Structures are given as C-alpha cells and as structure tokens.
Amino acid sequence: MMHPLIPTVEDLAADAVTHHYDDMIAPSGLTNMLGTVRVDHDLTALGAVQFPPVSQGLTQTAVLFVDGRLFASFGVPVTHEWRPDRVVRRATAGELEIETTTVCVPGRTAVAIDIAVRNTGAVEREVRIGLSAAARVTRSAAAWLDAESPSERDSVLVDGDRLVFAAEDDAAWSVQGLVGGSAALSGVADASAGSATPEFDVGIGGNGRGGDLAVTLSVPAGGADRTGYVQAVGLSEAEAAETWTAVAADVPGAVRAAEEFWNRQLRAAFDPDDDEFSGALPVLETTSAPLRRLYWWAVLGVIWFRRDFAGNVLGRSYDTLMPNYWGTTTFIWDYSLSSVSHALLDPAEMRTQVRHWISLDIHSHFGTSSLTGGPVGRWYSVNDYAMTRLVHDYVRFTGDAAFLDEVVADETIAASVRHWATAWKDLRQDSALADYGEIDNLLECVSSYTHEVAGLNAANVWSMRTAADLADLQGDETASARLRAEADALLPAVIDRYLPGTGVFTAGQPDGTRLPVRHCYDFSVVGTTIADDLAPSVRDEMVAFFQRELQTENWMRALSPWDQDASYSVRPDHQWNGAYPAWPADAGRALAALGAPGVLTDWIEGLSRTANQGPMGQAHFVEEAVPGIHGGARKAPPQLPYIIDWACSSSGAWIELVIEALFGISVAADGTVRAAGCVAALDPHAVLRGLRVGTRIYDIDASGGITEAPGR
C-alpha cells in the first residue's frame, strides 16, 4: 500500500467539533498569509478580522439572524469543520439546514462566506437571512504593542447593498455586504446634526451595531438556495470597495481558490525547487500513521504563520500567535523553538529576522513588530539562549559560515554569539549562577520559577559550548578553549541545584533559599542541553519524575500538581492543567537524550490524537482539567482567565522532535551528519528524505543509515 508523502488540505482537516453557545471551545482561525480572521460560534459570525496595517481588535461582525431571530437563541448545536483553507459550519433549525463555508481569500484583504440554506420541508418557503454588521477598523501609525490589536470607533454609511465603515482619519476602511441583499443603518448610531456618516459605539463585550445586512432566499421544498457575505478592508474606500466587488462577484470561486492556494503551500514546503519558500523540509516516508500525522501537523503549524503583507518591514516574517492576540509580533523565544524548521524551510527569512534582532537590544524586549520593526514588550530571560540557538541552527543547516563574519550593530555575528553565551555573568548576584529575574521575565504564571533557575543556567553551559563550536569553525582555538573551560566551570553549580532522589531542581532566591520547582522547563532544557553531564541515577530520576508527575496519555502537564505553586494560576500553557505546545516536543527530545527513547516512542500514538483540532494551540488542557475532543487534548480558549490563543508558531518544535530525537540526526556546526535514533520502534522502514545540510542532501533511514542523495 502506498502512503502519501505530501499532505493536502483534506489530510490536515480537523475533527468535526459540535458545540453549543459558549461551550469551552477555542474559536478557530484562518489566514491567507496577508491577514487573519477568527471564526466564531454561530454560522456566520467573525471576529478579529485583521489585515495589517488595518486592525480592529477582537470586534465581532456578521452575527446571524434567521427570519428575524438571533440564531444563537435557537439553542441548537453547531458543528465546525476546520481545514487549512476553510471552516465549514452547519446546523439545523426546524426544517432549515444551514451550511456556511468561510475562507480568507487568497491574494486579497478579504474574508468570504458562502451561505447555503436547505429546506427539508414539504413546501417552498422564503427565508430571511440577516447579519448584524460592525467594524472598528483603524490604521495605527505605531506597532501593535498590546495583546489585542488597535481599534477605534468607526463611522458607517450605506452604499447600495453594502455597509461602509471608516476610521476617523479615513486611513482604514471596511466594506461588508451580502450578495444580492440590502443594507441599512442600525438606527442606534449617533446621527446627530444630520451626519451622513453616523458613528456607532460598542457595548460590553466589544461588539456594536453599525448596521444590518439582509437577503431573502426562496428555498424550494427539498432544495437549497444560497448567498454570500464578504468583508473587505483597505487603506482607502476605493481599495476596500474594489476588493469587495471582485470577491462578491464569485464567492464560490473564492472558496475554490483558497483550497488551491493551501494545497500549493503544502506542496511547496517539501519542494526545494518551489520558490514559495527559500528552502524545504524533508519528506517523511512511513507506514506509521501517528508519526506521519504529528510531522504534517508540525509542518502546517509553521507555514501557517508566514506573513507577506504589503508594508511588512522585513518583507516576510512569521507571526507567533493567531487569530486573537499579538498580531504582527514575532517573539524571539517562540521563533527559536522552531529554529531548525526555519533553518530548513525558509533560511533567507530566518537570516533576515536574526540580523534584525541583532540590530536591536535583545535585553529590552521579547519580540519585534513586522509593521515597524520596532521592539515589543519586556525582556524575556531566555533571549540569549534563544539567539545562540538560532545562529547555531542557521549556520549548521545552511553551511553559511560566512554569516558569522558579518557585522551587525558594530560587531561580528560571531562576537554577538559569544556575548550572548557569556551574558549570564553580568546577572550573577551572590552565587555562581545567573539570576534571571522575576515571574514576568520567565514563565509568567509560575511564581516560584524565578531568579536562579536551573534550566537557563544549564542553557548557559550549552551556549558556551555552542559558541566554542562556532569559534572552531572560524579557526579561533583560543576563544574556543576559553569558552569550553568556562562551561566546564559553571556545570557543577548547575548540577548542585538538583534534589537527589526527586528528579527536580531548585530555583535559588535572593535571600539564599532554594525553592523546589516541579516544572517541565527544567526537565526539558536540562535534558536537552547537559544530559551527558548528568549521573545515570540523575537521568533515571528525571525520567521517573516526568512519567509520574507530568506525562499524560495524549499531552502533558507543564507543572506537576504536586508542586505547591499549582494553585497560583489556571493558565494552561505553564500550569498543572495543560501545557504550551512546544513542551511535549521538547520533553520528548529530553527523554531521548536522557536515555529513555522507549518512553518517547510509546507516547507518540497518544500525542498524535491531539493533532485533531487544526494547528496546535498556545496551550492544550490535560483531560483531568477539561475533557478532551475525540481523544485529543482540548485546545484552551481565549477568554479570561485562560487568555490562550487558538494557534501558536512553536509547532516547529515537533519537526525537531522527529528529526533530532526520533531519527536521532545530529548536525554539527561544520555540517557533519550522524544518525542514531529510535524511530524504528514506530516503523523500522521509515525514511526521512531530502534533508538539506549545506549544499548536500541526505536520506536517513530508521536504522541510522545515511545516504547522500543526488543534488536537486
């Protein structure tokens, strides 16, 4: 039996999810790489329609009414079926079956919904479809510096069958309408002094009634009729109107185009001859459905965040979250968790992004805006480790050693790497270890994981050794020897923070006390950076701790429920009730490094069941907290107190899991390739084909065999 090598949108379709109003369901997102949209509960409602530089916060629009009644009030379950190219929503209300297909229109700053109404009754009937429309479009002159993007109170007017919304300065516009329908103002907007463009405000929850769209369908008995909704945004009224007209002329065509677009992106991600990306990911050949599913899930989760909108100061970037929060922001930490993926898939973009970060002060922000290039947020303690990892992965997979000699911000990139690798020295207080500050610089919702944490101090040992490897590549033996000696000198102080018999480390506090912290970040980072330096008993105890207190069948807890800090927060990306999406992948790499590959391979089937809800979320709940969805760990929702987004770019950590842990592929700074993995436990005939290292291409099989493939 032949197994597919390249996924299509159908292969990556999420499980159908059926839910009622305000169930614990994270609303899904769509993108066309120009912008994003959130697909809400009812059959047509949309939120957070963002096409940079135009934003409108989390504003919801296109809320459905059927024959004058708010659809949500029918209380009927709604089924959502997500694919990369579309979301199909369907429900039955009496004798009406309503199905909608929502897409982000390729190449357009627009979203379209194909709306079909079927009549299961015995007589023809007229059905009035109404949509309550709103917009809060604005064009901010600055970076979007808050989690929610900017928005403002818009004016609105009727233009034939459309509603036209405008920002106060006329720099952002939204045009919305139903094909073949009518438009009217809501009557609650402020039209004082006879204004032709009355303003409307929003209520609690962030919505507003700018106007109403309606169309009456004649639906035959046993038959169907359809219409379409389009929202187009632009920087001028003419631009938004032209986009609306073009899309509204053929909404079913927009749906077909979205499928073609996303199948093209998926093919291109594995094709080094396709110029959609500057590189390509290796193709996985396997009979293991769980392994294949996880790998494809990871690939989609990286390309899903590519942003090529006009005005992107970097030309191309990869956002971190969508569709609710931190639009246009790329976090250094999250990007680094997909470091190998970026180096393979899009090294030209990675090179530009890394150079850009070097040109700024990485000790003053957590990321940058693709709108302005400027900094966003506060300093994250991980930045030095993250940047070292990025340069290392870029150089070893591309073979571009000359990158180290380039001058950015008045010093060579090699000098920057050495600065990051030793920056910890300036953070020492009264011990040999670096003090990484307070909660907001680290995990944000674990109050005990502060100051002298083991994970980042272990990362300092790795970073100095990595900087030494890069110094060797440049022939600087003096710098290399000094860095290795300093790494060896620091190592005992890190290991001293281990609590014998427990599998966990302590975090040193300013008063000299040491708090035990049972968090996965220490397990994963210590395990992936200094595993070979640990005594066998320590490695065994760390693995036992992971299995006993963190691992679940289909996901993991970020923090042990036996940790005293488990009562501090309910944010599931870092607490007992769930985990951030890179944590299971990084934990898997740590398991392999700590000498427990069997624990990893036994876990793969369960983890693959969580790849059933579209790209991996910013966090998934463990089932002790919230029941799963069809065997997969449920995505956490965006509302308070969880504030978790539907998708997160650190999906690439799972690509690294497959390449470096399951296939056991090790690529040195000089491009030397070795392989000794555990994937044979899943499929003894698995092959990773087309791994590009420098100018060479390799096929790696499950036995560790490495074959240099002909160049392409």
Q: How many CB atoms lie within 10 A of CB 460?
A: 28
Query: Whole-angstrom Cα distance, residue 493 to residue 458?
Result: 9
pTM: 0.95
Residue partners of 138: CB distance under 8 A and separation at least 6: 54, 55, 56, 150, 151, 152, 154, 167, 171, 172
* H or E stretch at 162: strand 162-166
DSSP-derived 3-state class of residue 310: coil
Walking along the chain (712 residues) 10 residues at a time, the average pLDDT comes out as: 86 96 92 98 96 95 96 96 98 96 98 98 96 94 90 93 95 97 82 54 60 96 97 98 98 98 98 97 98 98 97 96 96 98 98 97 95 94 98 98 96 98 96 95 93 98 98 97 98 98 97 96 98 98 98 98 96 97 98 98 98 97 96 94 95 98 98 97 98 97 94 58
Contact (CB, 8 A) for 671 and 655: no
User: Rounded CA gap, 458 and 559, in Å?
Assistant: 19
Structure tokens at 615: 């790209």
Q: What is the pLDDT of residue 199?
A: 65
Give residues with Cβ within 8 angstroms of 215, minimum separation 6.
128, 129, 178, 179, 180, 181, 182, 227
How far CA 431 is from CA of 366, 463, 484, 530, in Å, comes to 26, 19, 20, 20
Bond preceding residue 641 cis, omega within 30 of 0: yes
* The token pair that represents 119 in the structure block: 């009549």
CA–CA separation, 306 vs 377, rounded Å? 21
- Contact criterion met (CB below 8 Å) for 325 and 643: yes
| Neighbouring-strand partners of residue 185 | 211
- Looking at residue 192, its pLDDT comes to 47
Q: Give the number of other CB atoms < 10 A from CB of residue 225.
A: 19
- Of 162, 245, 166, 169, which Cα lies nearest the Cα of 211? 162
Q: What's the N-to-C CA distance of the chain in angstroms?
A: 27
Task: For 271-352, list the strands marked E by DSSP.
Answer: 283-285, 306-307, 317-318, 321-322, 329-331
Which position has the token pair 């194909």? 114
Beta bridge partners of 301: none
Which residues lie below 8 Å from residue 594, measured CB to CB, with a gap of 6+? Answer: 527, 531, 534, 539, 542, 543
Distance between CA atoms of 688 and 353, rounded to whole angstroms? 28
> Given this model, what pLDDT does residue 1 score?
57
Asked if residue 661 lies in contact with residue 384, where contact means CB atoms within 8 angstroms, the answer is no
Residue 296's identity, in one-letter code, is: W
Query: pLDDT value at position 610?
Result: 98
Asked if 267 contacts 274 with a C-beta cutoff of 8 angstroms, the reply is yes
